[in-house]
Amino acid sequence: MNQQKEHLVELFDHLLGVKNECSCTIFSECGLPDMTVKQIAYLKTIDDQGDVTFSRLAEITRFSKPTITEMVNKFVRMECVYRERSTDDRRVLFIRLTEKGRRIARADRDALHMVIERMMDSLDATEQDLLIRMLEKAR
């Protein structure tokens, strides 16, 4: 049993490595190969929130507004976000992702799609069904 578990660890480790390579490729294509995990997490938060203001992002991340402003300024320089005034209340500024920011925020999910596509291409229909059933059991 230990040998099987170790083999599974090796297989999953390989799959995660392929996923990480795909993520790194996306970051490199965006011209930002050195993105930190925290920066990516903040971009994901902005992506998840949709209409997010500086105040709301400060509330979510538990950072001060000046810290959020500094972070957003850095993302603007990296061309990952831009500011947009609300049409309803000109005092309100939204933080919006650029296409580059969206690609980075969604890189992990896109990389996972790439890995799954590779896996599915190497399996026939019966094996694909079997894999899906086995993974559903492991939930």
Q: How far apart are CA 68 and CA 36, in angstroms?
A: 16
Give every residue of the chain whose pLDDT is below 50, as ranges.
none
Cα-based distances in Å from 131 to 113, 122, 136: 15, 12, 9
pTM above 0.85, yes or no: no
Task: Summarize pLDDT for 42-71 with one digit per residue, the tens.
Answer: 999 999 998 899 999 999 999 999 999 999
Domain locations in the chain as residue ranges: 1-34+106-139, 36-104
Q: Order of strands, edge to edge, in the sheet holding 93-97?
A: 52-53, 93-97, 81-85
Q: Which CATH architecture has domain 36-104?
A: Orthogonal Bundle (1.10)
Q: What is the pLDDT of residue 72?
A: 95
- Tokens linked to 133: 């059933």
